[in-house]
Amino acid sequence: MLDMWIYNLPRDRFWTYFSQMQEILWKFSDCLQKLCEDVVLNRKLMTKLQESRFDVILADTIGPCGELLAELLRIPLVYSLRFSPGYAFEKQSGGLSFPPSYVPVILSELSDQMTFMERVKNMIYVLDFDFWFQTYNEKSWDQFYSEVLGSMEIYWQRTRQLRAKYSTV
């Protein structure tokens, strides 16, 4: 994946570049989902995390599992956000002011000194990231979250028992 991203991703054709970039990110998303699944469905690990009584989860938006862990462990979540493709997360969650005529889209390889045609290209990038490009396979992640949050009733009963046991200590 990394070799493809660094050396073999064609940067001369817009549609090829972003469609292949999305394909790479979806492969990465599948790896992250498998890792997340291995964590949240590992009863021993989840019990140990619960017993550790962490105050907060610090997560990066590059991997959408932090909020699921925070939900399951019932502790606050703090995001560390460097950037997301097309500033998608920043615009949706933080209300980032993003004038595309002045600010080049992340991953576009444009500079802040754009010609008119580069500004047009940047606007096309903005539209692509806003309406078509998905960093993650959202349908797969939604289904996974629903399965985990819907099937954890026994886990929560045991968690409540552990909390009751350790809150008196």
- The DSSP H or E segment spanning 89 is helix 88-94
| 8 A C-beta contact, residue 18 and residue 12 | no
pTM score: 0.55
pLDDT (tens, 9 = 90+) of the chain, 169 residues, equals 556 555 566 555 666 667 777 777 778 888 888 888 898 889 899 999 999 989 998 887 767 788 888 888 989 988 776 666 666 666 666 666 778 788 888 777 788 899 999 999 888 888 877 777 666 667 777 777 777 777 656 556 655 665 666 555 4
Task: Transcribe 49-75 into DSSP letters.
Answer: HHHHT-S-EEEETTSTTHHHHHHHHT-
What's the number of domains the chain is made of? 1
Do 122 and 105 contact (CB within 8 A), yes or no? yes
Q: What is residue 45's predicted lDDT score, i.e. its pLDDT?
A: 92
Q: How far apart are CA 160 and CA 126, in angstroms?
A: 46
| Cα–Cα distance for residue pair 147/119, rounded to 1 Å | 43
pLDDT at residue 169 in the model: 47
For residue 85, what are the domain limits? 1-166
